[in-house]
Structure 1
Amino acid sequence: MKKILSVLMITLVSLFITACDKKQETKVEKEPAKKVLTVGMELAYPPFEMSDKEGNPQGVSVDFAKALGKYLGREVVIENTAWSGLIPSLKTGKIDLIISSMTITDERKKSINFSIPYAQTSLAILANKDSAVTNIDELNQAGKKIAVKKGSTGHIYATKNLKNAEILVFDKENTCVLEVVQGKADGFLYDQLTIYKNYAQHKDTTIALLKPFQENPEHWGVALNKKNVQLRAQVDEFIKKAKADGTFATFAKTHLSAAKATFDELKIPFFF
Structure 2
Amino acid sequence: MRGIIGRVLGGTVLAAALAVLLAVVARPAGAAEQRPLVVGMELAYPPFEMTDKAGNPAGVSVDLAHELGKALGRKVVIQNIAFDGLIPALKTGKIDLIISSMTATAERAKSIDFSDPYLNTGLCLLVKKDSPVKTIADLDQPGRTVAVKKGTTGHTYASKQIRKARLLVLDKEAAAVLEVVQGKADAFIYDQMSTYQNWQKNPTTTRAILEPFQKESWAVGIRKGNDDLRLKVNAFLKDFRRRGGFEKLGDKYLKEQKDAFRKLGYPFYL
Identical positions, percent: 53
Compute the displacement of 1:65 (Å): 0.5
1:54 aligned partner, one-letter code: A
Compute the displacement of 1:183 (Å): 0.5
The separation in 2 between residues aligned to 1:205 and 1:21, in whole angstroms, is 67
Aligned to 1:270: 268
The separation in 2 between residues aligned to 1:195 and 1:31, in whole angstroms, is 44
The separation in 2 between residues aligned to 1:106 and 1:149, in whole angstroms, is 19
Structure 1, unpaired ranges of 5+: 1-18
Q: What RMSD, in angstroms, separates the aligned Cα atoms of the two structures?
A: 1.8
The separation in 1 between residues aligned to 2:19 and 2:207, in whole angstroms, is 73
Structure 1 SS opposite 2:130: helix
Aligned to 1:128: 128
Aligned length: 252
Aligned to 2:79: 79
The separation in 1 between residues aligned to 2:199 and 2:236, in whole angstroms, is 33
Give the TM-score normalised by structure 1. 0.88
The separation in 1 between residues aligned to 2:30 and 2:231, in whole angstroms, is 24
Structure 2 SS opposite 1:210: strand
The separation in 2 between residues aligned to 1:39 and 1:22, in whole angstroms, is 32
Larger radius of gyration: 1
Aligned to 2:254: 256
1:29 aligned partner, one-letter code: P
Within 5 Å, give how 1:208-223 maps onto structure 2: 208-214=208-214, 217-223=215-221
**Cα distance change, pair 21–263 in 1 and its aligned pair in 2 (3 A):** closer
2:225 aligned partner, one-letter code: K
Aligned to 1:93: 93
Aligned to 1:29: 28
Aligned to 1:14: none
The separation in 2 between residues aligned to 1:101 and 1:118, in whole angstroms, is 10
Which of 243, 247, 257 is residue 245 of structure 2 equivalent to?
A: 247
Aligned to 2:53: 53
Aligned to 2:5: none
Aligned to 1:103: 103
1:156 aligned partner, one-letter code: T
2:206 aligned partner, one-letter code: T
Compute the displacement of 1:130 (Å): 2.8
Of the structure 1 ranges 45-54 and 95-104, higher mean CA displacement relative to structure 2 is found in: 45-54
Structure 2, unpaired ranges of 5+: 1-17
